[in-house]
Amino acid sequence: MSLSRLGVRNVYGTSQQAEFYGNVDREDPEAILNGVAVSGLIGVLRQLGDLAESAAEIFQGIQEEVMATASRSNQLKMRLQHIEATVPPLEKAVLAQTTHLHFAYTGGVEWHPRIPHEHNHFIHDDLPNSFMDHYEECRDPPRLHMLDKFDINGPGSCLKRYSDPTYFRRASSSLVKGNNKFQNNNMSCKIKKKKSSSRSRDMSRLASMANQNARKTFTLISFSGQTSSSISASTSDMEKRSDLQDHHSHTYDCLSTATSSLKTGEKTKGGLVSSSLTPGSCTIGSVLSECETEDEHDNLQFTPLQGQAAAGSSCVSWDEKEEIVEEPLGVKTDEASVVDALVEKASYGEGTGRVDIGKAESEPGLQQSNGIDEVREIKAGTEIVREPRDSSEHETESEGECFVDALNSIESESENEQGLKTSLEAVSIPCGVTGERLEKSSNKVEESCRSMDNDYLNAADEMNHQDPLESDNRSRSPRNDVCTTSNITSGEDKIGFTVVPAPENSLSDSSNHLCHSEHQKSEAKVSGEVEAIKIWTNGGLLGLNPSKPPVLEVPSPDCKTEERTLGSAEAEKDKSDDLVEHVLDTPSLGTQNLTVDQRECHETSSYGVFGGLSQKLFTNSFRRRDSLPHDNRQALPPTIPENDEVMAEKSRFLFRDEAPIDWFASSPPLQHMKISLNPVDNTLQASRLKLKFSDEDNNSNNTFPSFQLLPEAATSLLDSCSDDDDDTFCMTSHIDYLSDYHSLSDSEQWEEPNDSHERKEHDSFHESTHVDNNGEPSSLHTEAENGCVDLNFSYLQSPVEPLPPPFPPVQWMVSKTASETISENKTTQSIQLQDALRFAFEKHTSSSIVNKEEPNTVASAPKPETKVHVKNNAREEKQNANEKETDADDFLQQIRTQHVNLKPVVMTRTLSSTAAAATTDPAINIKISAMLEKANSIRQAVASNDGDESDTWSDT
Amino acid sequence: MAKAGGITNAVNVGIAVQADWENREFISHISLNVRRLFEFLLQFVSAFVFRIDHKEQVGIFFYEKFDLLERRLEMLEVQVSTATANPSLFAT
């Protein structure tokens, strides 16, 4: 890896470029240009050179990597082949075994692979090239091996002596050890000061145990050191071994490796040699391990202990290892002075130590020397261990201290817990008291509910002021405050409001108030119901509609399924009382909703608890529920808008004389329920229903004017307007039409004399005109009976439209037919009257007394029906019009000014007009005849002016 | 003649300048291509060589596999050597 990225230099950026054209004659431009070109080419060549160099580096690295990988793969291949060659005989042997049970008692192989440490990055092989370049550029060490002949340690000793990289490491480690010892002493002093006498025993025991454990581990490490120290090699090997210890001996893995190497002897040697083939063996440690194992093998052949150990089974347990470790300790006690001297020498300096070791090794009695070495190593190991042991002791002490502290803390915690427990007990005792008192108070409340006395306030006061603790709890939560206040405020009036919490209260608060100790399980249920109630109770405010529309779909599955305790029943009872109070206090507001909610809430409640009034109310509610059809109940909207309530009130006002409803004693009739629960869109239809009821039941007491409640007319108006092709007619004429029509209907049904008089006149006129046109009143009557009169009349009365208008809506026709059936009895009289009118009209026309009646005609000209009829008859009486041209101009002007009031359809009143005309006097017939005369004159005038333009007559 | 010589010199200079521009263009083309080669090499290094050189990246899988195989193989070797060194285990 290159730390700096390669930079491509500019072609002309080289410093030597000036050499090519700097010395050129300035007066020769060609030379200058040639020099520049040459320098450019040289720059290109330089770039190419750099490119080649970098490419070579790159590909060289790739090649190296590939080669390394290939070598590793080859090694793996070789090893696999070796294993394949050795496995078949073993396989045969294993398969030849009859029982494999004895393999379970074999110790197996105590071996652990040597994972190469990657921590020494700076001496690893794969250093960056920039670092490797520096290493490569370094000079070789001095040829100290030339001095080996003068050294007693043999070849290579001088080189290691003067160029030992591990020397500084050992020196630094010794310094660190000294510092650690000093710190440990200080810490131990501090710890001893803190220790108590009783705890010190435990701590000493713990420390001894820790020491024992540490001794185990570190003596084992020293055991490995022993094996390594038994090497009779040069000092460099020892140093390497120490280096190896620094690297590997701090783990039990190395220990196991050493022990296995001791026990297995040559076996491990082979294994380790094979492991040296690994790429990790390129490291120093792995290389040293090979030397170690070889030397170990050489030495272990002469050591009795190792021979003894090797004589044992390959499976060495931990206790056996401990014994093995302890035996050299016993040897140490025998030869402690010698070992100490050796250790001291070794500790002062490696050179001297090694010399001593060499001396010791050079002494006769190889076994003894080996034993001394072992002891020395053990001593060194223990010395090495001591520090960790101290540290471990310190750690154990510190741990013990911490443990003691933890005990203290545990004790303190336990004390705190006890204190908390006592406090909790102290708290719980009042809670139980409060629960009892709550129970009592709830019982009181129940009694008070039954008796409906005025002691409810006292009970509520008791509930609210039961316990100071509870009051404290309440004071902590604002909701409780709200609850108490609501209870107080509501408890002034009725019990229902003393018990049932306000809608702002939470469920727990409600349960608190209801039954603190008993209803812990049924809090959720109670709370759900309380929520359902709080929607429509509207915060306990009386005389007001709920702020939100009542939710009728509040589920109460818990009420249906689960068993209720007495407390929950009491809670239900309280709610029912609340409901009762609400019903009593708000009799006129949302009674439907209240009853519906009440019904839903009390479907599952226990009935035996409720008082008489509430029970009566429930029975009423059940009646209502039974009276309600199931479809209607399902069709109820989830939220009933307030408009429905208003409509219900309206209907109540409308029907208050019709059917006096006892809202509390009996269920309302079905029709009211329908009206009250109708959606907003059907208000017009509902109003029409109201009109019908009012008409049928009591017409005299209806205070509303007839023209204000005309839902049917509105619908018919819409239909008629939609049927009209010419909008100008219905835009301006519908008002009069409405008023006429409704006045007509009123005249029919309400029999108001003022309006009916004119209507009768109009109707008689119509009848006369129709008779005049058709000439057969019997046919007219038959048509009226069949309901097709409208079509004929509209065609006659509105000649503007070439085609007859479409049929009116069926509903309207039905109403017309109904009115016809009402007036069927009077048809015979109407026929006679029509005949009389016809004769009178003919008489008037023949006498030609038009001039006398001009003012009357003018007065009656604005009547649109007459104009229309006159227009229809214009062609027939065109001859008579020539005589009255002078007067017709004025009439024409009046007609054109009043044409806006023309009605497109007036056939609806014909039947009723006939019926009305039948009941009129003969004096009226005379007037009608006069009006017919006027109309005839007008017709003549129009015919004279317009002539053939009668078909295109319009309002413009 | 002087004029003619001057003219010829001017023409020669112009030709030389044009040739110089052509040479510069040629050099710039070569330089650009060389730069492209450099760029390619650098990308190659960063995409392949760099990752191979650093095992933590793409090559980590490869090297880890190698390490794992070697360890298992070492374990097998030890087991085989142990088994071959203790024929008494199979002597039943």
- In the structure encoding, which two tokens stand for residue A162, read together? 């003067």
Contacts of A529 (CB under 8 A, 6+ apart): A556, A559, A571, A572, A575, A601
Identify all chain A residues contacting B19, using CB atoms and an 8 Å cutoff: 33
What is the rounded CA–CA span in Å between residue A471 and residue A462? 12
Identify all chain A residues contacting B23, using CB atoms and an 8 Å cutoff: 33, 36-37, 40
Which one of A48, A80, A97 has the shortest CB-CB distance to B73? A80
Answer whether A285's CB lies under 8 Å from A114's CB.
yes
What is the rounded CA–CA span in Å between residue A375 and residue A328? 6
Give the residue carrying structure tokens 């009829």: A869
Identify all chain B residues contacting A113, using CB atoms and an 8 Å cutoff: 71, 74-75
Beta-carbon separation of A278 and B70 below 8 A: yes
The three-state DSSP-derived secondary structure of A579-628 is: HHHHHHHCCCCCHHHHHHHHHHHCCCCCCCCCCHHHHHHHHHHHHHHHHC
Residue A639 sits at φ, ψ, to 5 deg, of -125, 125
Beta-carbon separation of B74 and A44 below 8 A: no
Identify all chain B residues contacting A126, using CB atoms and an 8 Å cutoff: 53
pLDDT at A265: 40
Residue A179 sits at φ, ψ, to 5 deg, of -65, -40
Burial of A651: CB neighbours in 10 Å, binned 0-12, 13-18, 19+: buried
Which one of B30, B69, B92 has the shortest CB-CB distance to A76? B69
Secondary structure (DSSP) of B16-49? HHHHHHHHHHHHHHHHHHHHHHHHHHHHHIIIII
What is the rounded CA–CA span in Å between residue A901 and residue A897? 9
What is the rounded CA–CA span in Å between residue A488 and residue A497? 8
Answer whether A643's CB lies under 8 Å from A683's CB.
yes
pLDDT at A310: 38
- As averages over each run of 10 residues, the pLDDT of chain A (956 residues) reads 59 65 73 80 83 84 86 89 88 82 76 63 65 80 80 79 77 81 71 56 48 40 37 40 41 40 40 38 38 41 38 42 45 46 45 41 43 46 43 42 44 48 45 47 52 49 47 44 41 41 42 44 44 44 46 44 46 50 45 44 43 46 42 42 47 44 46 45 43 45 44 42 40 41 43 47 47 44 43 44 52 48 57 72 59 46 50 61 63 65 50 52 82 88 62 45
Helix (H) or strand (E) holding A355: helix A350-362
Report the first-to-last Cα separation within chain B, whole angstroms. 123
Which one of B17, B31, B74 has the shortest CB-CB distance to A274? B74
Give the residue carrying structure tokens 């380790």: A272
Give the residue among A932, A862, A848 at the shortest CA–CA distance from A903.
Answer: A862
The three-state DSSP-derived secondary structure of A716-752 is: HHHHHHHHCCCHHHHHHHHHHHHHHHHHHHHHHHCCC
Instruction: Give me the helix-helix angle, A350-362 and A235-248, nearest 10°.
Output: 120
Amino acid at A696: E
Q: A830: helix, coil or strand? A: helix
Interface ipTM: 0.73
pLDDT at B81 over 80: yes
Task: Quote the minimal CA–CA distance from A82 to chain B in Å.
Answer: 9
Size of interface A-B (CB pairs under 8 A): 142
Beta-carbon separation of A8 and B28 below 8 A: no
pLDDT at A633: 42
Residue A225 sits at φ, ψ, to 5 deg, of -65, -35
Which one of B16, B30, B78 has the shortest CB-CB distance to A44? B30
Task: Quote the minimal CA–CA distance from A248 to chain B in Å.
Answer: 17
* Cα Rg of chain B, angstroms: 36
Which one of A69, A267, A274 has the shortest CB-CB distance to B85? A267
What is the rounded CA–CA span in Å between residue A111 and residue A274? 13
Residue A551 sits at φ, ψ, to 5 deg, of -90, 115
pLDDT at A136: 80
Beta-carbon separation of A11 and B28 below 8 A: yes
Give the total residue count for chain B.
92
Task: Quote the minimal CA–CA distance from B74 to chain A in Å.
Answer: 6
Q: A534: helix, coil or strand? A: helix
pLDDT at B27: 84
Residue A806 DSSP symbol: P
CA-based nearest residue in chain B for residue A80: B73
